[in-house]
Chains A and B, each alone.
Chain A
Amino acid sequence: MIESVKEEFYKKFGKDTVFSLELTKDDVPKWDSLRYIAFLVSLEKKFDIKFTPESASTMKTIDDILKYIKQNQP
């Protein structure tokens, strides 16, 4: 799962930042609202889940996103 998330992360935010679970918006220069939502939507397709808008505003780190995917996967 981490590998797939990592792949999507690099696709959306570029390879300037080294991927890690602790990364937040402040650590990734290219992390803006549009890319963030595009990142979540691409993960939705990959893992067959749906992020809610409120989850988008409460998740702060990559780890939070991974936890959400684990909890909501079919």
Chain B
Amino acid sequence: MLFNSLEFIVFFTLIFLIYWVLNRRLQNIFLLVSSYIFYAWWDYRFLVLIIASSAIDYLCGMIIDKTTVEKRRRFFLITSISLNLALLGIFKYFNFFADSFTLAMKSIGVEVDHTLPGILLPVGISFYTFQSMSYSIDIYQKKLRHNKSIIDFFLYISFFPQLVAGPIERPLAMLKQINSDRILKYEDVINGVAIASLGFFKKMVVADNLGVAVDTIFSNLATVSILESFIGSSLFSLQIYFDFSGYSEVALGIALMLGFNLTVNFKAPYFSKSVFEFWERWHISLSSWFRDYLYFPLAMRYLRSGDSFLNKYKAHIVTMLLMGLWHGAGFNYIIFGIFWSIVIVMSHRFEVFYDKVPGVIRVVFTFLCATFGWFLFRIERTVDIFSISSSTISRWEWYNNGLPVVLFAGVLIIILEYYYWIKKNKNINYLAGLFYVKLLFIIVSAVGCVCFSIPEKTNFIYFQF
């Protein structure tokens, strides 16, 4: 069930009305059932996976918490991580490795009969397996005690606003909210509606309309000019931002209407002055997950054994490569990881010079790096890079008159976000306190979504990851 669909609006309205007349225990059961219905809407078979992932970490977490024997604790931590990664491996990466193997064999003249069944990628699997794993890890690290209520724990893994594309919530903060009474606050509901409206506007008006032009350019990379390819890539940078941050804001908004505070996932990333800053502002819940659970332990281990060039950057390289792979199975994701590793290492090495460059140029440079990274995401096959035309004759066939209006709206939002997250450095939700501004904002968003959305129903880009 997509957020940007009529069935979701009906589904959520019903949930909202029923949810607030129940007590906390019933609310949690109701939310769990609703979340499973929401997920089963794609394919009911996916439910087996999410229940399996939740059960693995519920049991491993329980055993790790109960035992004091370090060997046993470690064994069950490794079990949790291995089983979750196995789920990901089978359902996300199996086809890629099977195809690559067949191709490799073919190149040395061996024909492999590829009769293995094509495995369907379950939506959101990378998000909820990571969320689930963090539970066992946190218990192992003694940040958290085991949560006895199986309903509450399963709800933590499957909470529908953030189930399929995050934010990836940490167990400590989320379980605390699940275990506490939620109070229906008028302020939260109106703020929630305002944030969700912004999200819908970003997705349905800005991202989807930009997507029409981007799709045309990317499906004609061999014939459009080099300038058009560049414009297409830059527009895709904007599209992926509005699409994903739009999704995150709808998630934040509807969760707030149910009394939950989720992690803010984006803080004006395209105004970052360095690639380090970019990853601290883009998909924050994922980059902080990798930082805390992978980068910190690795960097500590490597730096303890000396501060050679390799020891300094090995952890960065491993993290960025795995972050690339987290997004999907494909050579373009591996190149994505390699590209970011190189950019990060180079930025660090040449920091003395980089710091002297004016801020505006640093922002542009960071945006261009991000654009190249997203370009690698957008091309369907790596070999497509070589098919890009070097023609200088632009025909602007992808251009339509609505595009400047959409871009204008997008730029306005980005400026507002820059002011909010960077100039003011605020950490609370948008538009807090300004009732009439919020109301106007909700109306403008609703009118925008009705009048300027494209007729086709589109998926969110991050659903594929």
Contacts and interface: CB of A to CB of B under 8 A. Distances in A.
Partners in one complex: yes
Interface of A: 26, 32-34, 37-38, 40-41, 44, 51-54, 56-58
A41 B141 contact: no
Interface string B293-307: 101110110011001
26 contacts: A26-B425, A32-B276, A33-B276, A33-B296, A34-B299, A34-B313, A34-B315, A34-B316, A34-B348, A38-B303, A38-B307, A40-B300, A41-B303, A44-B304, A51-B300, A53-B141, A53-B293, A53-B296, A53-B297, A54-B142, A54-B143, A54-B292, A56-B296, A57-B291, A57-B296, A58-B143
Contacts of B143: 54, 58
Contacts of A44: 304
A37 B161 CA distance: 34
A56 B141 contact: no
B300 A37 contact: yes
B316 A53 contact: no
Interface of B: 141-143, 276, 291-293, 295-297, 299-300, 303-304, 307, 312-313, 315-316, 348, 425
A44 B307 CA distance: 14
A62 B414 CA distance: 33
A34 B347 CA distance: 12
Contacts of B299: 33-34, 37
Contacts of A58: 143
Q: Is the interface of A mostly helix, strand, loop or mixed?
A: helix
A53 B35 CA distance: 33
B292 A57 contact: yes
Contacts of A54: 141-143, 292
A34 B296 contact: no
B276, B299, B312 — most chain A CB neighbours (10 Å)? B299
A26 B280 CA distance: 11
Nearest to B141: A54
A47 B318 CA distance: 29
A33 B291 contact: yes
B163 to A, nearest CB: 24
Given A34-B313, A53-B141, 19 more contacts: A32-B276, A33-B276, A33-B296, A34-B348, A37-B296, A38-B307, A40-B300, A41-B303, A41-B304, A51-B300, A53-B292, A53-B293, A53-B296, A53-B297, A54-B141, A56-B296, A56-B300, A57-B292, A57-B296
A4 B313 CA distance: 26
Contacts of A38: 303, 307, 312
A41 B311 CA distance: 12
A66 to B, nearest CB: 19
Contacts of A34: 299, 312-313, 315-316, 348
Contacts of B300: 37, 40-41, 51, 53, 56
A32 to B, nearest CB: 5
Contacts of A26: 425
A30 B299 CA distance: 17
A32 B279 CA distance: 11
B420 to A, nearest CB: 15
A52 B304 contact: no
B140 to A, nearest CB: 9
A37 B314 CA distance: 13
B67 to A, nearest CB: 19
A60 to B, nearest CB: 13
Contact of A52 (B141, B276, B293, B315): B141
Nearest to A41: B303
A32 B291 CA distance: 11
Nearest to B273: A29
Contacts of B315: 34, 37
Nearest to B140: A54
Nearest to A52: B141
A37 B143 CA distance: 20
B86 to A, nearest CB: 24
**Closest 4 pairs (CB-CB, A-B):** A53-B297, A57-B292, A54-B141, A37-B299
A51 B300 CA distance: 9
A9 B7 CA distance: 55
Nearest to A35: B348
A33 B302 CA distance: 14
